[in-house]
Structure 1
Amino acid sequence: MIFLFILAEAITTQARGPILVSLERAFGVSEAALGLVAPAGTIGFLGAILVTGLLAGRISVQRTMVLGIAGVIGSLLLMAIAPHYLLFLVALLAQGSASGAFRGVDRVVLSHLYPDNRGRMYAAYTFVWAIGAVLGPQLVSGILTLADWRSVFVIIAICFLPAAVLARRHNLPSMDAERALSKNGLQILLRRPPVVCACISMVLVGALEGIMFTWLAYYAGGFYDTVTANLLLSIYLLAYLPARLVYMYVVDQVPYLLLLVLMMLPVAPALAVAFSGFIGIPLFTVVFIAGAGISGGFPLLSAYAVEAAPEYSGPLNALTNGSLYVGMSTAPAAVGLLAEVYGIRKALSVTVCLTVALIISIVITWFWTGTADASTPNTMAE
C-alpha cells in the first residue's frame, strides 16, 4: 500500500513541471506566477508532514493514511475543474497537505517493520518513487496528445485508487516501538549534529530537486517541442532508477557521507554544461549524470538521520522531509523571479552553486561528527 501510494504520488509531483506551459496558456499567467506552483504544492505538504511526523507516536497511523489518500484524490479532482489559477493553487495546496499527512507516517511504518534493513528499505522506497517520477512526464505527454490538461489530474487521481482500497482492507501492525516525543526530547533531538547537518543538507537537496522538477522541461521547451522537452525531464528522472538501485545494495557497505560526496562530485560540472546552451545528446547525457548524483541525497540523508535515534523515526522523518520541502518550495519560486529578470537559462545556473554548497555541507558534517557513517544512537529524554 505504501509503495503504491508513493508511486502515484511521484507521478503527481512530476506532472507539475510538464503542465506549466499548458497552465500558462490556459490562465494567461507570467513565469513568476508559474513559479508559485512549487510553493503551493509543498507548503501544505511541509506543514502536514511536520505535524503527523512529530505526532507519530500519538496518532492513529491507519486513519492518517486513509484520510491522506482520500484528501489527495479529492484535491486532484478539484484541480481538474478549477476555473481560475488562484483556485488551482488552493487545490494544489490541499493536495500537498493530504499527501504530507500520509508521508509523515509511511516511512515510520517501514522503519519499525524493517529495523535491521532500514537504509535498504528507504532506498527501495525511493526507487519506487523514481519509477513513478519517470512515468509522470510521459503520462502527461500522452494525455495531452489526446485531451486537455484537466484530464491529466483526473487520470492521476485514478492512480491512487489501488492504494485507497488496500488502506481500507488491511490493518497495519502496531507501532508501539515508536516513542512519543516531548518538547524536551525535541530540543535534544535538534541539538544532535547528525540531525542538524542532515536537515541543512536536505534543504539543499530539495532546492536542487525542486528546480529540476519544476523548470527543466520548461527550459527545454525553449528549443524543443513539448514531447521532447518532457522527455528531457524523464531522462533526468530515469537516472534515479539505476542510481537508487545501486545505493540500495551498497548502502550497507559504504559509509553514508562518503557515498554522498562521491555521487555529488560529478553533479556541479554536469549542471554547468546542461545550462550553458548545449542541446542534443550532450544535454541529455549531462542531465542524466546530474540526476544520478542528486537522486541519492534524499534516501541516504534520511537513513543517516534516523540512525541517530531510530526510536524517534517519526519526528526524524518529519524533520528531514520538512527540510527537503523547504528547499523544494522556495528555490523554484526564486528561479521564477530570476527568470523574469535574467532569463530562464541564467536563472538555472544557480543549481551549480547549490551543488557546491551541498558538497561543502556534507564534508562539514563528516568533520563535525568525526565519522562518515551514521553515529551511534543515544537514548533521548522524554
Structure 2
Amino acid sequence: MKKENNKKYWILALFAFVTLDGALIQARGALVPTWKETFTTSETFLGLITPVGTVGFVAAMVVFGSASGRIDIKRALLAGIAVTAAAALLIGASPTFLLLLAFIGLRGFGTGIFRSLDRTVLSHLYPERRARIFSLHTMAWAIGATAGPLLVTAALWLSGWQLTYLVLALPLVPIFVILWGLDRPATLANEQSLSLADVRDLLGEPGIYGMALALLFVGSIESVFFQWLPYYATELFSRDVANLTLSIYLAAYVPGRFAFSRLAERYRFTDLVVAVGVILVGSLYAMLVLAEGLVVLGLVFVIGFFVSGLFPTLISMGIESRPSFTGPINVVANVAAQTGFFIAPATVGIVADATSIGTAMLLQIGLAVVLTIVALGLKVGPLGSRRSTASE
C-alpha cells in the first residue's frame, strides 16, 4: 500500500474504533436506570459498573502500553478489536447482573489494549501536530459518545436494551479488516518501552506528574457524569429527557474538543486548565444548586464543552515533555484518569444510597475546586513559563 494511503487508512481505523468506544461507554451510562429495573439492584451495586470496566481497561493499559516499543503494535490493536467485539455481544446476552459486570470488565480489557497504543501511532504519524491531532481524535470519541445514549433510546423503543450491543459490535468487523491490511508505520521504530529505571525519571518531569495529578480529578468528574447524569436527571425530567441530558453533555464535547485543538496551540497548557477549572466550579454550582428546568440542560452543555478540553490538553502537556515515551506516558495518563473512574462513581453510588443522588452529585463541585487548586499550583510552579509547542 502507498505511504500516503497507508497513513490515511491508519487514521480511518483509529478514529473509527475510538468513535465506537465512545458509544459503548456512554450507552452503558444511559442504561443504568434500565439495568436497575431489569436486575433489581441498588445504587451501591450500580456504582460498581464503571470501576469494573476500569479495572479491565487499566490492566490492559499497563501491560500493553508500557511495552509499546517491544510488541507488535498492529497485532495488539487487532486483538483489542476482537476482544471488544466479543465482549459487546456477551454484554447484550447477559442473564444476570454479575455476568453483566464480568463482561463489562472484559470489554474494558479489550478496549484498553487498543487505547493503550492508538495515541502511540498518532503521535509518530503527526509529531509536529500532537496537541491538535489528539484533540481531533478525542473529538471522534465524543461523536460516538453522543450517539450512545440516543442509540439506547432507539433500542429500547424498537426491541430491548440488548439490541444496543449488537448494533455496536457489528461495525468493529470492517475496522478489523481495514487494520489487517495495513503496513506498520516506519516511524514507530523510534518508540521506546517503559522499564523500571525509566519510571522515576518520567514521573520526575513536571509536565508528566502534573498531567497525572490533574487527570485524577478530571477522570473523577467525567466518570460521575458518564454513569450518573441520566440517573440524576430522572429526578428532574422524564426518562427520555433524562437520557437526552447525557447526549447534550457529550454533544458539547464535539465543538469543545475542536476549540481546544486550536487553543492548545496558542496558549500555555496550565493557563487553559486554570481557566477551565474556574469556569467549572461556577457552572457546576449553578447546575446542581441554583438552576431548574431548561436552564439545567443549558448548563449541562456548558460543563461538557469545558470538561472536554481537559484530557487532550493535559495528555499533550505530558507527551511533549518526553515525546519518545508516548506509549508509557499514555499509560500514566490513562491510569491516572481511570483511578478517578474507579473511585468517583462508586463513591457517588454509596453516598446516593445513604442520602440521595442529588446530594451525592454535589461531590462534583468539590472535585472541580481541587482540580483548580492543582492547576494553579502547576501554573505558578515549573510549568508556568512553558508554551504548548511540540517537538520530537
Q: Same fold (TM over 0.5)?
A: yes
What amino acid is the match of 1:302?
Answer: I
Of 147, 165, 187, which aligns to 1:135? 147
Alpha carbons of structure 1 residues 372 and 300: separation in structure 2 relative to 1, 3 Å: farther
Give the conservation status (yes or no) of the 8 Å contact 1:217–1:232. Answer: yes
Deviating above 4 A after TM superposition, structure 1's stretches of 4 or more consecutive aligned residues are 374-379
2:324 corresponds in structure 1 to 311
Please list the CA deviations of residues 232-260 of structure 1 after superposition, one character each: whole Å capped at 9, or x if unmatched: 11111111111111111222111111112
- CA–CA distance in 1 between the matches of 2:47 and 2:291? 24
Task: Establish whether residue 26 from structure 1 lines up as the match of residue 74 from structure 2.
Answer: no
Deviates more, 1:216-225 or 1:116-125: 216-225
Give the conservation status (yes or no) of the 8 Å contact 1:57–1:179. Answer: yes
Give the conservation status (yes or no) of the 8 Å contact 2:56–2:108. Answer: yes
2:294 corresponds in structure 1 to 281
1:53 Cα deviation (Å)? 1.0
2:337 corresponds in structure 1 to 324
Give the conservation status (yes or no) of the 8 Å contact 1:275–1:346. Answer: no
What amino acid is the match of 1:309?
Answer: R
What amino acid is the match of 1:142?
Answer: A
Deviates more, 1:95-104 or 1:172-181: 172-181
Matches within 5 A, 1:221-370: 221-276=234-289, 278-370=291-383
What amino acid is the match of 1:74?
Answer: A
1:47 corresponds in structure 2 to 59
- CA–CA distance in 2 between the matches of 1:278 and 1:370? 36
1:147 corresponds in structure 2 to 159
Give the conservation status (yes or no) of the 8 Å contact 1:308–1:376. Answer: no
Alpha carbons of structure 1 residues 374 and 89: separation in structure 2 relative to 1, 3 Å: farther
Task: Establish whether residue 103 from structure 1 lines up as the match of residue 112 from structure 2.
Answer: no
What amino acid is the match of 2:354?
Answer: V
1:206 corresponds in structure 2 to 219
Please list the CA deviations of residues 114-150 of structure 1 after superposition, one character each: whole Å capped at 9, or x if unmatched: 0000111111111111111111111111111111111
Task: Establish whether residue 56 from structure 1 lines up as the match of residue 68 from structure 2.
Answer: yes
- CA–CA distance in 2 between the matches of 1:114 and 1:376? 13
Task: Establish whether residue 177 from structure 1 lines up as the match of residue 181 from structure 2.
Answer: no
Length, aligned pairs only: 379
Identity rate, percent: 33
- CA–CA distance in 1 between the matches of 2:116 and 2:139? 18
Q: Which runs of 5+ in 1 are unaligned?
A: none
Give the conservation status (yes or no) of the 8 Å contact 1:256–1:372. Answer: no
Instruction: Give secondary structure in 2 for the equivalent of 1:275.
Output: helix
- CA–CA distance in 2 between the matches of 1:157 and 1:366? 43
1:166 corresponds in structure 2 to 178
Of 22, 26, 32, which aligns to 1:10? 22
Give the conservation status (yes or no) of the 8 Å contact 1:32–1:336. Answer: yes
Deviates more, 1:114-123 or 1:236-245: 236-245
1:350 Cα deviation (Å)? 0.4
Give the conservation status (yes or no) of the 8 Å contact 2:128–2:391. Answer: no
Please list the CA deviations of residues 292-350 of structure 1 after superposition, one character each: whole Å capped at 9, or x if unmatched: 11111100000000011000001000100111111012100100000001100010000
What amino acid is the match of 1:135?
Answer: A
Q: Which runs of 5+ in 2 are unaligned?
A: 1-12
Task: Establish whether residue 79 from structure 1 lines up as the match of residue 91 from structure 2.
Answer: yes
Please list the CA deviations of residues 201-246 of structure 1 after superposition, one character each: whole Å capped at 9, or x if unmatched: 0010000000001000011112322211111111111111111111
Instruction: Give secondary structure in 1 for the equivalent of 2:374.
Output: helix
Of 134, 138, 144, which aligns to 1:126? 138
1:172 Cα deviation (Å)? 2.6
- Cα RMSD of the aligned pairs, angstroms, is 1.6
Deviates more, 1:239-248 or 1:103-112: 239-248
Give the conservation status (yes or no) of the 8 Å contact 1:206–1:325. Answer: yes
1:288 Cα deviation (Å)? 1.1
2:102 corresponds in structure 1 to 90
1:157 corresponds in structure 2 to 169
1:377 Cα deviation (Å)? 9.7
Give the conservation status (yes or no) of the 8 Å contact 2:132–2:264. Answer: yes
* TM-score, normalization by structure 1: 0.96
1:113 corresponds in structure 2 to 125
* TM-score, normalization by structure 2: 0.93
Of 215, 238, 243, which aligns to 2:228? 215
1:17 Cα deviation (Å)? 1.2
Task: Establish whether residue 190 from structure 1 lines up as the match of residue 203 from structure 2.
Answer: yes
- CA–CA distance in 2 between the matches of 1:49 and 1:166? 23
